[in-house]
Amino acid sequence: MSPVIPAAPARPRGAARREALLQAVLTIVAEVGADAVTHRRVAQAAGLPLASTTYWFDSKEHLLTAAIELAADRDIARIRALVEDRSDGEDPIALAVSGLLEPLDDERPGSRTSLLAAYSLLLEAARRPALRTIASRWSEAYTRGLATLLEAAGSRQARADAQLLMAAYDGLLLEQLAAGVSANLSSRLRRLTRALLESS
C-alpha cells in the first residue's frame, strides 16, 4: 500500500498550460498591476515552473499581448451574446445600463480589480502600438453593441450616442476607481442616456 500523499493540485500539462499562464497574467494585472507581471510571479501563480513561461511564450511582451487578447475576446463574446439574446419585449436602455455597463461595477468581488486590469491594459495600448488593434476591436464591440440597443430605443444617431455614453461610463468609472469610492452609476448613466435621446 502506498503512503497517502495529498493529491497534488493536478498541474495542467500541454497546451492547457498556456491557458493557465494567461489566466495567471490576468489575475496579476488585476490585483497588482501590469508592471508586476514577471515570469516568476506568473509561473508561481499558475503553479508551474519558471521555464514554462518561456517555453509557451517567446517573451514577456508576447505573454502580455496574448493575455490581453484573451481578456478582450472573452468580453467581446459576452457583449455579443448579451445583445443578440435580447428578448423583444425588453427595455433596451435598461439592458444597456444593467447588462453592458453596470455588470462590471460592484456585484462580483473581483470586479474592481478586473476593471483595473482592463483600464491598465488600455493605457498600455496607448504606449504599445502592437496592442492597439486589440484595444480598438474591444471598444468597437462595445460601441456596436450599445449602438444596437440605442437604436432599438429610438436614437436617431445611435452610434454617436453610443460613443458618448460609453466614454462617459469609462470616465465615471475611472474616477471612481481613482477616488476609491464606489457609488451607483446607473442613475447618472440613465440621465445621460435620456438627455442624448431627447436631443435629437
Partner DNA sequence: GCCAAAACGGTACGGGCGTACCACACGCTT
Partner DNA sequence: AAGCGTGTGGTACGCCCGTACCGTTTTGGC
The Cα–Cα gap between 65 and 72 comes to 11
Q: Choose among a copy of itself, DNA, none what residue 53 binds, the Cβ cut-off being 5 to 8 Å by kind.
A: DNA
- Alpha carbons within 13 angstroms on the beta-carbon side of residue 185 total 27
Pick between residue 6 and residue 180 the one whose CB is nearest to a copy of itself: 180
Q: Is 91:100 a contact under the CB 8 Å cutoff?
A: no
Q: Choose among a copy of itself, DNA, none what residue 194 binds, the Cβ cut-off being 5 to 8 Å by kind.
A: a copy of itself
- State the minimum distance, in angstroms, from the CB of residue 45 to DNA: 11
Q: What are phi and psi of 185, to 5 degrees?
A: -90, -20
Q: Choose among a copy of itself, DNA, none what residue 82 binds, the Cβ cut-off being 5 to 8 Å by kind.
A: none
Q: With binding defined as CB under 8 A, does residue 61 bind a copy of itself? A: no
Q: With binding defined as CB under 8 A, does residue 141 bind a copy of itself? A: no
Candidates 20, 125, 149, 150: give the one binding a copy of itself (CB under 8 A): 125
The Cα–Cα gap between 163 and 146 comes to 8
User: What are the Cα distances from residue 124, in Å, to 18, 64, 118, 174, 177?
Assistant: 22, 10, 10, 15, 17
The Cα–Cα gap between 162 and 144 comes to 8
Q: What are phi and psi of 37, to 5 degrees?
A: -75, 105
Pick between residue 20 and residue 147 the one whose CB is nearest to a copy of itself: 147
Q: With binding defined as CB under 8 A, does residue 111 bind a copy of itself? A: no
Q: Is 100:82 a contact under the CB 8 Å cutoff?
A: yes
Binding stretches for DNA (CB under 7 A): 11, 13-15, 17, 37-41, 48-56, 59-61
Q: Choose among a copy of itself, DNA, none what residue 41 binds, the Cβ cut-off being 5 to 8 Å by kind.
A: DNA
Candidates 102, 153, 164, 190: give the one binding a copy of itself (CB under 8 A): 164
Q: For residue 23, what are the contacts with CB-CB under 8 A and spacing of at least 6?
A: 46
**Contacting positions for a copy of itself (CB under 8 A):** 32-33, 35, 116, 119-120, 122-123, 125-127, 129, 132, 135-136, 139, 160, 163-164, 166-172, 174-175, 177-180, 188, 191-192, 194-196, 198-199
